Amino acid sequence: MKYNTINFNNKTILITGGAGFIGSNLAFYFQEEFPQSHVVVFDKFRSEATFSNGNLQSFGHYKNLIGFKGDIICGDLNSEKDLAQLDAYNFDYIFHEAAISDTRVYDQEIIMQTNVNSFYYFLEKAKKDNAVLVYASSAATYGSIPSPQTVGKESPENPYGFSKYAMDQIAYRYMRENPEMTIVGLKYFNVYGAREFFKDKTSSTVIQFGHQILAGKAPRLFEGSDKIVRDFVYIKDVLQANIKACDAKKSGVYNVGTGKPRSFQDIADILQKELGTDYGTEYFPNPFTGYQMHTQADISTSTEFLGYKPKWELEDGIKDYLGEIIRMYNEEVM
């Protein structure tokens, strides 16, 4: 689906984190909708290295790019030598999705180095190339402030959230100093959809619950999950936001959600209905302190300045995603 009138054919497009969840979806979007576009993926790709919490340090996976026909550069955001490989290109559009995105990583140094220090390179590269820059911010910038979450009222409560908050502040300065540039930050809420499986433990509850049910088990939810709600947004709406950001009426930072929070219990119940099962629910105590109980994106400015209007209700998104959930279970879990 073409979300605006931009013709990306014969344009050179950089996608950092292009072997990850959102990045790989963007890569295939351009390949399928604009086959004459020149897409360059920059990604560290996964190794077996883990953080102290046991989670993988990098989620980029080659299987997310099977069938991709563009350029691939394996590189680390923390390496000037790796980033220098991008200087050979003159980009028209830069989608900066790469980051350490695990909210449970508390090593402030590595998060700030990876997420914030590297951001200056892409801002300067966009300025030099006269490229549109769209980058991933995050709803984690809001912390646990009351809903609805509104841009400009952030209160991050973990290093990842703070790193994205810092990126937003840097972006605002570039916007002021370079009014001719198009710079758009997108605060993603809880994204789910195809190509998220290799995020491992940080993948959405949609695929995690789906695979629990496919294994013949009751989905495992925190106690009180009918009252824990999130703004779940389908990957196809995230693609819409990214493409519309390329033609933004105004540079800025915008929320990408639905504005319609739903509970974890809703997800489990929808999945059981679609899969034709009735395993009930297994509840266990929530082990986390400072846990967000309610998120809801205020998307008024996203609609006004990007033309972003979410199309996918949770029921529709899960139904559209179900075949991929089953495929990944059969190919990667069984």
Residues marked active site are found at: 160, 199
Measured CA angle at 202 (ends 274, 325), to 5 deg: 25
CA 2/CA 200 separation, integer angstroms: 31
Cα–Cα distance for residue pair 81/14, rounded to 1 Å? 17
In the chain, DSSP assigns E strands to 12-16, 38-43, 71-74, 93-96, 132-138, 183-188, 190-192, 220-222, 229-230, 232-234, 252-256, 262-263, 282-284
For residue 79, the tally of other CB atoms under 10 A from its CB is: 12
| Cα end-to-end span (Å), the chain | 33
Q: Amino acid letter at 10?
A: N
Contact 236, 193 (CB under 8 A): yes
- Where are the alpha helices (H) located in 16-56, listed in sequence order? 21-33
User: Helix crossing, 205-214 with 314-328: angle to 10°?
Assistant: 50
Contacts of 193 (CB under 8 A, 6+ apart): 21, 25, 204, 234, 235, 236, 238, 317, 321, 324
